Amino acid sequence: MSEASLTTVTDATFAELVLAETRPVVVDFWATWCPPCRPMARTLAELATEFGDRIVIATIDADASPEAVRTYRVLSMPTLLFFRHGVVTGSIVGARPKSYLRNALQDRTAPYANR
């Protein structure tokens, strides 16, 4: 497994870093005023290391990137959107335990496990 970290995206980099990515991508929409967003970010950082290069785990500050929030109709924080080839394939709204998130990521990276 390779070392990985969270990828920070903005409205300006969303198309390049999320929509054009060939690997599965999960985007964490968060805000500084959102108390459950902090532990979710820590958990996602741990999972980014665990999953390595099989998936891109990205974060986007919802307040600083209102275009993405509008485009994907994000109404609650935190919200995770799962992308594959630029298309939303699923979502998780609200904070979840690490085991739940790990299972969600495993389901989306299974075809990439042997690469």
Q: Print the SS3 string covering the chain.
A: CCCCCCEECCCCCHHHHHHCCCCCEEEEEECCCCCCHHHHHHHHHHHHHHHHHHCEEEEEECCCCHHHHHHCCCCCCCEEEEEECCEEEEEEECCCCHHHHHHHHHHHHHHHCCC
Residue 37 is a catalytic residue? yes
Q: Which of 25, 37, 60, 62 is catalytic?
A: 37
Residue 34 is a catalytic residue? yes
**Tokens linked to 16:** 């390049």
Q: Which of 31, 34, 45, 93 is catalytic?
A: 34
Verify cis geometry, omega within 30 degrees of 0, for the bond prior to 78: yes
Annotated active-site positions, please? 34, 37
